[in-house]
Structure 1
Amino acid sequence: MKNTLLFFFILSTCFLYGQKTNTLINYSFEEAFKLQEKEKKPIIVFFHTNWCKYCFAMKNNTFRDEKIIDLLNKHFYFISFDAESKESVNIKGKIFKNKSGIHQIVEVLASKNNTISYPSTIIISANNTIDEQIDSFLSAEEISKILTSYIAVK
């Protein structure tokens, strides 16, 4: 009986060891723009807050999907950024800070008609122009369609 249990325990650990789980690479703004100088890839910025339930759902579902992780790691520089973060952001010598509860970088990149919605997902081209902005929850299927069509066009 002991040998049977030991056999199944060893067998189960072999299966666990063989499984590969991808991790989404999350860059800082500084890292992404510096890397972009060497390898021109678009940047995906995901603006979120701690109190936004749709942001939480995207972080825990959409961005944990294996297909999305593969797409983002291979074709984009991904930045996940708390819109209420207190940390300063330096992009090519320009400093952005949190003023009045909302970070300046969010105001610059995600504001539409002086309004900011969360979650906000922005695609910045390899030439540093905003190509697309989606201010709503995106499922893995929805963002997959957006990313694959973006890759096909570029």
Structure 2
Amino acid sequence: MMKIFFQVLFILMSNFSFAQVHWMTIGEALEAQKKVPKKIFISFTESNCDTCLKMENQTFENPIIAKIISENFYPVKFFTDSKEKVNFHGRIFEWKDSLKSTLHPFAKYMNISKVPALIFLDEQSSPITSLMGALSAKDVEPYFSMITSQNYKNIKTRQQWDDYQRKFRSKIKD
């Protein structure tokens, strides 16, 4: 009986040992950032985007990527087709039914033209970089590493980025 108890306990503990991304709204992230400064990571998605869902399940739930996100960022999932009212540092972005675009005005403000898309903001909510399209965990890992290590401040040219990528050693196994 004790053996079964420990086996069940081990299975439960192993499920909880993996980092999971706990998504926030942009408002929650901005409030949290005021109390404890951290970078913000925004994943722009759409409610009926299969590619976005696949990326969320395979990329952001990768244990290594999920751990990096959870420890270093306030993660925000923003639906570009939502009717959510967004207050971004005093600027209000509201969905208006009269708009011909299917993109939320906040997404447009952040220069998002399609999903999936990712935006990294520094501790003052200034943009660091953005990534467009479906990306694997291995694709995004160098970006997360560069941003969490502050190396993005030293990379100014394409050549410097290429050098960084060449030297980068992934922790994600194929």
Q: Normalising by structure 2, what TM-score?
A: 0.75
Following the alignment from structure 1 to structure 2, what is the Cα–Cα distance between the partners of residues 7 and 75?
Answer: 39
Of residues 46-55 and 89-98 in structure 1, the stretch that sits farther from structure 2 once superposed is 89-98
Which of 9, 12, 17 does residue 14 from structure 1 map onto?
Answer: 9
- Map 1:4-153 → 2, pairs under 5 A: 9-19=4-14, 20-99=17-96, 100=99, 101-111=102-112, 116-152=113-149, 153=151
Q: Is the 8 A contact 1:110 1:122 kept in 2?
A: no
Following the alignment from structure 1 to structure 2, what is the Cα–Cα distance between the partners of residues 11 and 25?
Answer: 28
Letter in 1 for 2:121: I
Gaps of 5+ in 1: 1-5
Aligned residues between the structures: 145
CA offsets, 1:17-52, max 9 Å, x none? Answer: 322232212111111112212222111110011232
CA offsets, 1:54-89, max 9 Å, x none? Answer: 211111111111111110111111101111011211
Partner-residue secondary structure (3-state), 2:119 = strand
CA offsets, 1:90-134, max 9 Å, x none? Answer: 2233221223332111010133xxxx0210101111222211111
Following the alignment from structure 1 to structure 2, what is the Cα–Cα distance between the partners of residues 18 and 41?
Answer: 28
Letter in 2 for 1:102: L
Specify the alignment match of 1:3 in structure 2: none
Q: Is the 8 A contact 2:51 2:134 kept in 1?
A: yes
Following the alignment from structure 2 to structure 1, what is the Cα–Cα distance between the partners of residues 53 and 29?
Answer: 23
Q: Is the 8 A contact 1:110 1:120 kept in 2?
A: no
Root-mean-square deviation (Å):
1.8
Gaps of 5+ in 2: 154-174
Q: Is the 8 A contact 1:28 1:79 kept in 2?
A: yes
Partner-residue secondary structure (3-state), 2:18 = coil
Aligned-residue offset at 1:16:
1.4
Partner-residue secondary structure (3-state), 1:149 = helix
Q: Normalising by structure 1, what TM-score?
A: 0.84
Letter in 2 for 1:93: G
Look at both structures and tell me which one has the larger radius of gyration over its CA atoms.
1
Partner-residue secondary structure (3-state), 1:81 = strand
Higher relative contact order (CA 8 A, sep 6+): 1
Following the alignment from structure 1 to structure 2, what is the Cα–Cα distance between the partners of residues 18 and 45?
Answer: 29
Q: Is the 8 A contact 2:40 2:76 kept in 1?
A: yes
Following the alignment from structure 2 to structure 1, what is the Cα–Cα distance between the partners of residues 115 and 12?
Answer: 38
